[in-house]
Structure formats: C-alpha cells, structure tokens
Amino acid sequence: MRRSLIAVGVLLPACVSHGGVHPLRPQELATGPYQSVATAAFTGSLLYEGGCLLFRDDDNRVQLLPVWPYGSQFNGSLVTFHQPGKTEQRIVIGEEFQMEGQPVAWAVLPQPTTAQFQPQCGSQPFVVSRVRPAN
C-alpha cells in the first residue's frame, strides 16, 4: 500500500504538461502596442469560440482576431478597451460595435501574442485602434 502511494506521488507530476499548446483561459487576450493608424473599419460583435476571443462582422464575411492595446483586459464576458489618453470603453461579448484598425501579419506581432494565439486561433490578426457603438 505504501509503495503504491509513493509510486503515485512520483508518477503524478509526469502526467502534467508544462508547455506547448494549451486551451486559452477566458481572461487571455491578444495584446500589442497601441497603433493609432486605422485603415479599415468593421461593424459586428465579439464571440468566444474554440478558446479564442474573435470578432465577426455583421455579414459573417470577416472573422478577425482583435489585437488590443496593452492595458486592455478581458474578464470572460466583456473587454475593457484601453486607448492611451482616453477613457476606457467596455464592450460586452455579443454587443454590436464598430472596430477600427488595421490587419497585420502574424510576423509583426509581439512574440508572446504570436506564440500563444496563432496555433489555436488562426484568424487574421487585426490591431484595434478605436472602438465605438454601432449606432
């Protein structure tokens, strides 16, 4: 009995993975440096699907991985958008809003964002510059 307990205690840590791809937690958010340049605007809503916080436009033609400015937060049901020098804005998942920014290649994103989100989310990254209500 004692030997089996010791064996379980020794083997249990070997069952735990300490690296590689893992499911993202609801609080994980793709972030990067703030960029004020906006070359595109989309109206749609956020969705949490497959462990990724994604944006889908109203016509269901575009699905993007928003890359929020550093300081933005996600609590599982809403994103607090941090735009330097402005009041923080809250966006609830499923709420319609307009998102402005620019699409970017995975290679230009900071390494933590690329390594963590590209394998699991795969959607086109979109650096968010501004958000506002859709109305």
Go through the domains of the chain in sequence order and give each one's CATH number.
21-133 (2.40.50)
Give me the sheet containing 78-81, strands edge to edge.
Answer: 73-74, 78-81, 89-92
CA distance 102 to 25: 26
CA distance 60 to 27: 25
Tens-digit pLDDT profile for residues 32-70: 999 999 999 999 999 988 889 999 999 888 999 999 999
Question: What residues are paired with 78 via a beta bridge?
Answer: 92
Question: What residues are paired with 39 via a beta bridge?
Answer: none
| pLDDT tier for residue 5 given thresholds of 50, 70 and 90 | very low
The whole-chain average pLDDT of the chain stands at 84
| H helix and E strand count, the chain | 2, 9
Which residues, 6+ apart, have CB-to-CB distance to 115 below 8 Å?
Answer: none
| pLDDT tier for residue 92 given thresholds of 50, 70 and 90 | very high
Structure-model confidence comparison of residues 50 and 23, the more confident one = 50
Which helix or strand (DSSP H or E) is residue 125 part of? strand 124-133
